[in-house]
A and B are shown apart, each in its own frame.
Chain A
Amino acid sequence: MKRAFLILGLLVPVLAAASLQFGVHYTSPAEVWRALTVGGDDQAALIVTTLRVPRTIIAVLVGAGLGLSGLLMQTVTRNPLAEPGLLGINAGAAFAAVLMVTLLGIEAPLPLTLAACAGALTTATLIYCMAWLGNDSASPLHLLLAGLVMMALLTSGVQVALVSSERAMEELLFWLSGAFTNGQVALLLPAALIMGTIAACCVFSSRLLDVLTADDATAGALGVPVVAARGTAFAAAAILAGISVALAGSVNFVGLAAPHLARRLGARSHIRLIPLSMLAGASLALAADIASRFLIYPAQAPVGAVLAMIGVPVLLMLLRRKGTAAA
């Protein structure tokens, strides 16, 4: 277990450093260091400070946030396939934000974030009702399928809204498949604070989350207010997804893969799962972002497409596993 923390704990700074160095223009470690400490207005320094630093911070924040969000959703629905992207919650957040931009013409970061969170919470409520409706008959697969269809629906909504206001393809791709490049710098600090607070609350109530992995009757017998606890945790997961969408559009699959990676590394209780999922999510997002700069060099691939290429095999592997399919 210590080794897992060590590996991921080292991987994140290493990947972050790589993310500051590599791109269309290679920047040497010495130049990066100079840009970070002294600044300067030559090209290399400007690329590092104005482009790569925000991009790296966004990747870390969004990756960690979605990793935690996915973990919470998997715990609450007791469904190993739950994750904000595939359940359509990211798409709901994006749809709300896009409506805000196209219908009301508001593009300021704060209202946009609030809209994204509201959209995420609304979609999450719908999905949660579906999970609850189908509780006795539907398998984990039913919930995922419902989520995927919800995602198709909301994605269409985003397309209609953006195309009917003549937006560029970049904007469509940002909202539909995510990008760490055009986030608002002003949002970074508040987003980090909110995500950090939610993460701290989760660590603080990790015993409660452990109990929620049991069925309702068992959890109830242990004295847990089951409905309230599940609702709160799911709402927290939705808010994390909403903030991530405001920062980077709908980034899918991180929330699915990160908690599984954490479990693979041996974590079972939430006190370990929470930090490991966040670290795994951040590493995954950073790695995908770095890969996206070179995959179709010199053009940049959308990071969502790269993550789909990592995430789809993970999903197929999980579908293959016994136990997932059992009703």
Chain B
Amino acid sequence: MTGVTVIAEPRPKTRNGTALLIGLAVVLLLSALLGLGIGSSSMTLERLLLAVIGQGAQTDELIIWTLRAPRVLLSGLAGMTLALAGLLLQRATRNPLAAPSVLGITDGAALGAVGFLFLFSNESNSLTVSIYWQPLAAACGAAVFAVLVAVLAKGAARGPVSLILHGFALGKLAQAGVTMLMIVGPVYRANQAATWLAGSVHQARWIDVAIISVLLAAIVPVVLLLARRMDQLLLDDASAEASGLPVMQTQALLLALAVVLTAAAVSFVGAIGFVGLIAPHAARLLLGTRALPVMIGTAFIGAVLVVLADVVVRYLFAPFEVPTGAVTALIGAPYFLYILFRSGRAHA
């Protein structure tokens, strides 16, 4: 059972972190350009760049600035947010399999968001209160499920896999609730339903981008300040306490931040899964274990993943709005199986 923690061992090798981070930023920029260029009318790079700087044809500028730019930005920001949430959860639980989607937190947030739509809609399916309260409802849902998972898993058999199973089980419960509310509430088509069950960025608006940016700007500095504590948390409880870290308090703080981050992402893009799992792993593979570079790397990789997943959705499945979360799950689920069984073998 303890075998799973083997891969969390610190890597002694130091790497040229700055160069790698700059490289990741370039990859992110290129993915964003790809996201802007690909769609029902593809553009050459020249036309695209002209439109971006405001010198292009009017239709090009319209397509870029009102349709694609908010979508690409929202994908990137949501990816960053979910990836950071995954990293915080993996550090807080010291469990490499943890992520907002596998711990049922994204489903809890989706339940909160759909519950909000259900409670505050009138007969003609229009909202009676401002939509800006929706992130708060999502945060409540996410928090309730995070606490439930933590409390129930604590009472049961210990071990990393047991924790994840509790998350999965409660996530199924939240999904059942979402389904139920969708039937009585204002959701009619499969793609809308899939948005809440699997996550999608196809309804991106500038206002969404603005709100999620503000939330990220508020939370990210706090997360960065916690980098040192996250390094200390890699030690076992006794050593961490001895190094002056209030372990329980730090874990609770990380968990709370992860809940808020998840809720922020889910209330705009739905329950996109597995980004929070893959991005921290990829970042650690590239950058080692020190929290600060890994954090920045995780955010970049998360953004790249969701932006590219959205490109895949638009390129392969247009004009249908296949949920972005289905694409991230197609990549993430096999990777999860790989970690699960690699760690099993390492133990044997």
Contacts and interface: CB of A to CB of B under 8 A. Distances in A.
B345 to A, nearest CB: 7
A299 to B, nearest CB: 5
Contacts of B329: 152-153, 155-156
Contacts of A152: 273-274, 329, 333
13 contacts: A142-B340, A145-B165, A160-B323, A160-B330, A163-B190, A163-B323, A169-B188, A172-B193, A305-B175, A308-B172, A312-B173, A320-B156, A325-B157
B183 A141 contact: no
A270 B193 CA distance: 42
Contacts of B179: 173, 177, 302, 304-305
B147 interface: no
A176 B196 CA distance: 14
A309 B165 CA distance: 16
Interface of A: 130, 133-134, 136-139, 141-142, 144-146, 148-150, 152-153, 155-157, 159-160, 162-169, 171-173, 176-177, 252, 295-296, 299-302, 304-306, 308-309, 311-312, 315-316, 319-320, 322, 324-327
Nearest to A167: B190
Nearest to B339: A149
A160 B326 contact: yes
Contacts of B188: 169
Given A169-B189, A299-B183, A164 B320 contact: yes
B169 A315 contact: yes
A175 to B, nearest CB: 10
Contacts of A252: 172
Given A153-B330, A295-B180, A305-B179, A138 B190 contact: no
B170 interface: yes
A319 B321 contact: no
A304 B190 contact: no
B344 A142 contact: yes
Contact of B193 (A144, A157, A169): A169
B156 A308 contact: no
B244 interface: no
Given A138-B344, A149-B340, 16 more contacts: A133-B341, A137-B344, A141-B165, A142-B340, A149-B337, A153-B333, A156-B327, A162-B190, A163-B191, A165-B320, A171-B190, A172-B190, A299-B184, A302-B179, A319-B169, A325-B157
Nearest to A165: B320
A257 to B, nearest CB: 13
B155 interface: yes
Nearest to A153: B333
A320 B157 contact: yes
A163 B320 contact: yes
Nearest to A134: B344
A149 B330 CA distance: 10
Nearest to A300: B183
Contacts of A133: 341
Contacts of B155: 320
A134 B341 contact: yes
Nearest to A88: B333
Contacts of B182: 169
A137 B347 contact: yes
A148 B192 CA distance: 24
Contacts of A326: 157
A130 B334 CA distance: 13
B287 interface: no
A304 B189 contact: no
Contacts of A300: 183
